[in-house]
């Protein structure tokens, strides 16, 4: 009891849970790093780049210049402002 059947696709289960709960997993990338952090920040419902900056540190939000986003944007690494609405799985690189 409590174990998942062996034929359950865990990635598909994760996608279904995220979709049903409207959770947004936002991955952070430092301008100095090539890869994003493996552990995401979790937000419930709609989230903007400004919300992410504020959640990290107030001074980061206050000194915000722009962000680059990979994922839901028209082209990868697109420069966006604080009001850009993020989607689940987006990668954000904040410049301040």
Domains of the chain: 25-95 (3.10.20.30)
The pLDDT value given to residue 1: 58
What is the radius of gyration, based on Cα positions, of the chain? 15
> Which residue intervals of 1-96 are DSSP H helices?
10-21, 49-56, 58-62
Start-to-end CA distance of the chain, whole Å, equals 51
- pTM score of the predicted model: 0.81
Q: Would strands 23-28 and 91-95 be described as parallel, antiparallel, or unpaired? A: parallel
List the pLDDT tens digit at each of the 96 positions of the chain: 567 777 878 888 877 777 777 889 999 999 999 899 999 999 988 999 999 999 999 999 999 999 999 999 999 999 999 999 999 999 999 999
The pLDDT value given to residue 48: 98
């Amino acid at each position: 009891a409590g174990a998942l059947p062996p034929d359950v696709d865990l990635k598909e289960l994760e996608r279904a849970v995220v979709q049903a709960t409207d959770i947004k997993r936002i991955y952070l990338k430092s301008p100095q790093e090539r890869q994003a952090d493996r552990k995401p920040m979790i937000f419930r419902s709609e989230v903007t780049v400004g919300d992410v900056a504020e959640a990290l540190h107030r001074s980061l939000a206050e000194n915000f210049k722009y962000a680059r986003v990979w994922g839901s944007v028209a082209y990868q690494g697109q420069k966006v402002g604080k009001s850009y609405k993020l989607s689940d799985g987006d990668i954000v690189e904040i410049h301040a």
